[in-house]
Amino acid sequence: MERIPILKMGRALLITIQVDMHDQMAIALEEDLTTRIAQTGAKGVLIDISSLEIVDSFIGRMLDNIAAVSRVLDAETVVVGMRPAVAITLVELGLTLQGVKTALNVERGFELISRRLAEIETVVVEIGAEDERSGD
Amino acid sequence: MNAPVTDTMPIQSSDDIVRVRQEVRRRAAAAGLGIVDQTKFVTAASEIARNTLDYGGGGIVRLEAVQDGARKGLRLIFEDHGPGIASIDLALTDGYTTGGGLGLGLSGSRRLCNEFAIESKPGEGTRVTIARWK
């Protein structure tokens, strides 16, 4: 079966959905992605849907599921590149993807994830400094 | 008014749903629908086709190019011989589902179409007709 590639970029994973996904592909993607998050310790997942001509409730639910599972594995999901006509349709359909962060394009999505990484590192540095002081 | 040109496509697998989406897109564009209307109608077709497959146990869709004076449009008739819908009112309620989905398929699709009709008899099957006009 055709599978959707998952690329590692720094501490994030990038998925570009370029084909009209049928159901088994969507399910395989969820499984592959969670495995990769666990293997790589990625803190962010970018899903580029700029090639998708429609997002129906099945794909919407898949995006929601991916975001929820990634969150449990300590990674943040950002869906990027949604076409304007798709956004209009989703809202009218009643699907607002509340559990999913979105950004206009891949670049802005990376900024969101980098900011989160910077926050995590700041906290780690602060805890490290605390440990040093208490060690004196 | 000329007799509508009708073609039939099967809906027996999730690959068929992809093919129906592509064909609906092509014909919606040919009918002159704009990109937003095309997207809405293809999304509605995808939702209904999935219902035909998941709840109806598979079926067919008939595609009709329709014309009313200067107005052009596309009508789709989805038919299955599944268990039917016990309560259409309930099935059209946002958030109602018997299949573990989001419960937006029927109610949401209705908002995406200009015409929307369901006929169903428990035990005999379901017919959903949707249309979008330019």
Alpha carbons A51 and A68: distance in angstroms, whole number: 23
Report the residue from A60, A85, A95 with minimal CB separation from B39.
A85
Give me chain A's average pLDDT, please. 89
Residues of chain A neighbouring B25 (CB-CB closer than 8 A):
53
In this structure, is residue A66 part of a structural domain? yes
Rounded average pLDDT over B41-57 = 95
Q: How many domains does chain B have?
A: 1
CA B29 to chain centre: 17
* Residue at A1 is within a domain: no
Is the torsion defined by CA of A58, A62, A68, A72 positive or negative?
Answer: positive
The rounded mean pLDDT for chain B is: 90
Contact (CB, 8 A) for A95 and A88:
no
At residue B64, φ and ψ (nearest 5 deg) are -125, 125
A53/B112 Cβ within 8 A: no
The beta strands (E) that lie in B1-134 are given as 5-11, 59-68, 71-80, 115-121, 125-133
Reply yes or no on whether the pLDDT at A47 is more than 90.
Answer: yes
Report the Cα A48 to chain-centroid distance in Å. Answer: 9
Task: ipTM value, please give it.
Answer: 0.88
Domain of A21, CATH number, reads: 3.30.750.24
Quick one: closest CA in B to A84, which residue?
A: B36
Total number of domains constituting chain A: 1
The answer to whether residue A56 sits within a structural domain is yes
Q: What is the pLDDT of residue A121?
A: 80
Interatomic CA distance for residues B56 and B11, integer angstroms: 10
The dihedral built from the CA positions of residue A86, A90, A92 and A96, taken in this order, carries a sign that is: negative
Tell me the mean pLDDT in the region A24-46: 92
How far apart, in whole angstroms, are the C-alpha atoms of residue A49 and residue A43?
A: 20
> Does A17 fall in a domain?
yes
pLDDT band at B87 (very low <50, low <70, confident <90, very high): confident
pLDDT band at B6 (very low <50, low <70, confident <90, very high): confident
| DSSP secondary structure string for all residues of chain A | -----EEEETTEEEEE--S---HHHHHHHHHHHHHHHHHHT-SEEEEE-TT-S---HHHHHHHHHHHHHHHHTT-EEEEE---HHHHHHHHHHT---TT-EEESSHHHHHHHHHHHHHHHHHHHHHHHHHHHHHH-
Residues of the domain holding B105? 5-133
- Interface probe, candidates A19, A58, A64, chain B, greatest B C-beta count within 10 A: A58
Find the domain containing A32 and state its range: 6-135
Contact residues on chain B for A93, CB-CB shorter than 8 A: 43, 47, 104, 108-109, 111-112
Q: Is the dihedral of CA B107, B13, B43, B27 positive or negative?
A: negative
Inform me whether the pLDDT recorded for B13 exceeds 70: yes
A68 falls in which pLDDT band (50, 70, 90)?
Answer: very high
Selected for mutation to probe chain B from A59, A89, A98 (highest B CB count within 10 Å) is: A89
Chain A: closest CA distance from residue B28 (Å): 13
